[in-house]
Amino acid sequence: MLSVSKWARENRTYPRSAAIPGPRDPHLTPYIVPIEDAAGERLSKRIVVVTAAQSGKSEGLLDIAGQRLDQHPVPILYVGPNKQFLTEQFEPRVMALLDEAPTLAGKVARGKRMTKTRKMIAGVPLRLAHAGSSAALKSDPAALALVDEYDEMLKNIKGQGDPLGLVERRGDTYADFVCVVTSTCSRGMVRTVHDQKSGLIFWRIAQSDEVESPIWKLWQAGTRHHWSWPCPHCGEYFVPRFDLVRYPKDATPLEAQAQTFIECPRCGGIIEEHHKADMNERGKFVAPGQYVEPDGTVVGDPPPSPTLSYWVSGLASPFVTFGDRVKNYVEAVEIGDDAMIQTAVNAGFGECYSPGGGEVPEWEELKAKSARSSYARGEVPDGVRYLTLTADVQKQSIPYTIRGWGAKATSWLVDYGRLHGDTAEEEVWDALGDLISTPIDGVPIRLAFVDSGFRPGKSDTLPLNRVYEFCRRFLRRVRPTKGSSTPMRTPMMVSKIEVTRAGKASKFGLDLIRLDTDHWKSWVHERARWDENKAGSWHLPKNIDDDYCHQIVSEARLVDPLGKPEWVQRSKENHFLDCEAMQAAAGYMLNVQRIKPSEDTEDQAPVVAVPAEPAPGDVPVQSARPVARPTRRVVRSNYMG
């Protein structure tokens, strides 16, 4: 029996109207050859392939189907994302396959037995189904299933379940059943990791709630093979990806197209388009746990998994140049359309798109900052003059942070955590009161902000507002806050809440601090990247945990075409980011930017004059030293998603 790639070479011939007419050469896309041969040899029941657009994966699926129908006829099920894709794009390619392969043309039952979605070849059916029809997915058994563009499919088809699950149940009666799943990926916060043994930089396994892309979740649950190239200069293998692409920062799309190159991560050598064919010819799939010897031999075993999974960068496609991929990305960035940018990253480079890209610090940066720290959690460093506490109220817990402030707004995270308990009840609030009232290393909490965006309990069963009631108990140093989803004229304003403990009117009201969410979250992300030796730096204690780091980078700032900022959540938990944004505002209220290195530590913190909520028609009064809104710019040289 011929391998799939050899069968395709010997039996498929493209017509003159094709982009590349003549006999098919599977090695034009050499990264497809190991994948289709693995499917032909039935090495695994599930084979997952993540690629960019125009990478040759559809031709690979046709090779697999054609070889199986010719060499060992079995029922085959192909599943596309929707009916239009199926009938207008893929069905004509199936007919071309059946007509261009002489060994198949005579085996096709034509006439009434052939329909758009069901072909009979060598006495077995080739059914074409789409993910919107649960009936089609459950109709016939199949020994080979081909699932194309999995990320575009519905997660739950008419209440019947995931399309992949429905498809794989069709193969339960075949011991050698194989399901090949392919797709470009979609959204996900995916990072890289450097493998010391191989020297290669692989995709790190992301947490489930950080990845939306279904195909990426399948891929990282498998063997995680990466298509790798040998550098034409140093000969060392590396994994091509978007962060290795270089082009002038301020280039126009056409300038970027003409001046794009790839920088070798091993030697820094310049890799250009004319190097691609040779690198692809010598390219290898390498998984974590494996390495490549100088002669190109892959040594070692991939991670144990019943799923074979492969990832190929869009940079490897012989049909699209490096410059063309980058041109599409730069155009999308200039337009400012998030959907277009995502398409450029997903379809152009085969990588997950993370909203915000390079605007967000990497969580590893925070871990590295923590590793360089000289103080431990719970300690108050010598430079601290004042402590502030911020709390983000949830239904069953109160996440909090305590930060110390010193000269020129330099700050140190002293402690953080969660107080667990139903926030509609008093116990958890008593615990928060104890926390605020207890000095740390003899230093008291000077100011506390408590987010009032969530109201614990229902007003009909709990007339009083627990947040406001708590703030009234500590009227001198606790303030309720509420974030604004739209930009404010000043980053902080005060409005009066005229309520008693029972929620009734009172002439002695609370000061509600309204915060410009965009301004203060931007402040946190900017300070997180400051040099630790710089005045105004933002410090973390030693051995901070991953959860805190992930939460600080859990949101990304986007700007729509009209210039309106929007914060997009990239992972589920974001409470510590909210707390740190309130910390920045609390420091501003204490005027910590004016603390001088020589200031007497016994002095009280001067409180900034916060403008009050303006009456309708009034112009708000600006504070004496307002915090300027940071200037944002798009960095085009690399995508950091």
How much is the pLDDT for 333?
81
At 464, the amino acid letter reads L
Beta strands, E only, 131-223 = 144-148, 178-183, 192-194, 201-203
How much is the pLDDT for 601?
44
How much is the pLDDT for 131?
76
Which of 247, 239, 288, 292 minimizes the C-alpha distance to 266? 239
The two beta strands, 178-183 and 46-50, are parallel
pTM: 0.65
10-residue mean pLDDT series, the chain (641 residues): 93 85 93 96 96 94 95 93 87 90 89 86 91 69 93 67 84 92 90 90 87 93 97 96 90 94 94 97 96 93 96 97 95 79 93 68 86 94 95 95 95 96 94 96 95 82 82 92 87 78 58 92 90 90 92 80 70 90 96 78 47 41 32 33 38
Q: What domains does the chain contain, in order, with CATH numbers? A: 4-14+36-183 (3.40.50.300), 198-353 (no CATH), 363-594 (3.30.420.240)
How much is the pLDDT for 235?
95
The answer to whether the CB of 518 falls within 8 A of the CB of 564 is: no
How much is the pLDDT for 619?
33
How much is the pLDDT for 610?
55
pLDDT tens per residue across span 131-153: 776 666 767 789 999 999 999 88
Give the DSSP per-residue string, 372-440. Answer: T-SS-TT---TT--EEEEEE---SSEEEEEEEEE-GGG-EEEEEEEEEES-TTSSHHHHHHHHHHHS-B
CA distance 583 to 376: 19
The answer to whether the CB of 50 falls within 8 A of the CB of 350 is: yes
How much is the pLDDT for 624?
31
At 504, the amino acid letter reads K
pLDDT tens per residue across span 10-66: 999 888 877 788 899 999 999 999 999 999 999 999 999 999 999 999 999 999 999
How big is the chain, counted in residues?
Answer: 641
Q: How far is CA 395 from the centre of its chain?
A: 27
Give the Cβ contact number of residue 161 at 10 Å.
Answer: 14
